[in-house]
Structure 1
Amino acid sequence: MTTDDATAPASSPQPSARARISRRVGAIEPSATLAVDATAKALKAAGRPVIGFGAGEPDFPTPQHIVDAAIEAAADPGNHRYSPTAGLPELRRALAEAARATTGLPVEPAQVLVTNGGKQAVFQAFATLLDPGDEVLLPAPYWTTYPEAIRQTGAHEVPVLAGADQGYVPTVEQLEAARTERTRALVLCSPSNPTGAVLTAEQVAEIGRWALEHGIWVVTDEIYQALTYDGMPFTSVLKAVPELAETTVVLGGVAKSFAMTGWRVGWMIGPVDVITAAGNLQSHLTSHVNNIAQRAAVAALTGPTEPVEQMREAFDRRRRLIVQKLSEVRGFTVPTPTGAFYVFPDVSGALGREIRGRRVTTSAELAAVILEEAEVAAVPGEAFGAPGHLRFSYALQDEDISEGVDRVIALLAE
């Protein structure tokens, strides 16, 4: 049988008024931190001597005992098959034990869900807790993924800005002023990305008691908990206010403390009903995490701690170096971070002027000029809900830190 133009079926009708991309997905902004890192790497590949302070990624190799565990796991046929959605039993037990040590609470493996990196934990936590119209109090500066994950549920973020003058830590009075009858949850991130701020035990307790009093869920991102400095202890909100156990979800992952960003192992820890529901979602979304990576995570959590401490000491040295150097930049005010591996200077004093013939009025414009003229990549504060700032990651070699900041010093001294 043959067909000709006269008898061929008509082409499928094309959508007319409706856009090709859904409004929900079309509204998502790309990750600003990953975009800056990608730009820096592309410029490097083109031969330009760019120094990138954009990526929130340790520059160390994953400790060898973790790599060895993964190699051994890859050779075991038992890891070549599907495993439970919620995670390997050995990893869930290790995470429950770690959580018990951190919080002092009787955490059980049934309260643990292993996810494909920390970002999946963030998205699933909000998807499990929020409905359209809910509001989430989001202390700013905030990590760029939080608002995007909140909006995907139909809920709305309510930024609560705390500036350098208060150590980037919101007060209970600020949170109370932002609370409405639609407030469903509060996000905590200590140590903080992007500021490196660490809440004191007293601040954590005060905020936690306020959330408990008003029946507000706490979503606490504790992925940087092993990286604190100057004797500043990490305090989990569940350690400070154990009564929050039934209304708190703890997020974490191996990426930052163990230099395992590419292994993609994160987790959620919370009440059993929440974890079960999130697991149901994950069973349709991604199923379980790669078994080899899970075995590596078990080795990370149960193995020697010396490699983590060595990395922490190196970050501490770099922290002190970058704070010293950035404090020499004209127009920068540089609070000293006590956690993570970021510094978040207030750069408003460098705005409102011409730099090499270009009028710079925003931190986004300043970041662009610094990249183009000094070949140094930093992330503008607009990405974190805090215009007038720049984020510099000090997860890079000491000599690169010195050279990169010296370029910025020279540029802004002109």
Structure 2
Amino acid sequence: MTDLPHLFRPLALRGIETRNRVVISPMCQYSAHEGHLEDWHLVHLGRFAIGGAGIVFTEATAVQKGGRITHGCPGLWTDSQIPGHARVAQFALRHGAIPALQLGHAGRKAGMQRPWFGNGPLGPDDLARGDMPWTPVGPSALPVAEGWPVPHALTPAEIVTLVDDYAAAARRAREAGYRIVEIHGAHGYLVHSFLSPLSNTRGDAYGGDLRGRMRLALEIAEAVRAAWPEDLPLFFRTSAVDGPPEGWSLDDTVVLARELKARGVDVVDCSSGGIAGAATASAGQKRKPGFQVPYAERVRREVGLPTMAVGLITHPVQAEAILAGGRADLIAIAREALADPMWALHAARVLGHDTGYADWPQQSGWWLALRDRTSEFYDPAAPAD
């Protein structure tokens, strides 16, 4: 085991074991129909399982119809949505990956445009396409930004229903065959908006001080943990920092992670930003490789909880160094996997773990091994014949 690259060492989490530490992060596709997954999702996610990833996440999946980011986002608020998810989960399992699902509610960012139509509030062109608006919800009646709709502030009774719907969606996820569930508590969506003092100005038990602002996140974690099988792991994605100093901080994230650990959360997935405007910390900033790794490192060190690092991790040597340095336990790959769905298998070769295509699908590995044995490769620097 110790001679394996860290990236390709299995990780045991409750009753499952991953084949490696490569995770395909949830990536919205905006291509569902009335919350139901389509063939696009099976092919899109299936290629990552074939590509050697240890865990493959289905994108943010709404626990309520009004919790979708866009009209094209999937859900698990009704049983009719289970079969589409089951196809994805079963395919991933057949090809050695652990199928995982991110459960969320878009909150005051719900009902927005698909990104290729503008990535903002719905406008006349969207209405002409049939994407009709609905009233978003949040902790307070504060819009995301100027020009965005004012959300309805959830009542205590509506919060009770919301928590129940998270638990119901988790039970459907298990029926579909997923082995990991993650609660989306980042990027300005509903749970994050309750955590941040920039968006939560409530005066009741779900607002005010840090404990009050954490209450919804912790109640959801408790409800999902109770509904989710004891032998299967639960993740939580957090925006470790808001950005502005008066917002949610890394110190707050450490406190939250300790509380989540006490409630049976197994991994904290450390992202950042998104409380206003774009969903992540990317807007208007020049980011450096692995810019969010320090968040995962601190939570892991101070809380003693496994963490997942995400954000501009693109090269296998970079990923290996993060794990070898004890800075995180899992590496989440997102956009780089869109460019290279076989990223995990290519990483194995780069790190000297699988130089003979043994881990590749039989349908392609034998072809590639034969080519390497019998062929010369084009060298653009070589003189022409």
TMscore range, shorter length: under 0.3
Which protein, 1 or 2, shows the higher relative CO under an 8 Å CA cutoff with sep ≥ 6?
1
TM-score (norm 1): 0.26
Which of the two has greater helix per residue? 1
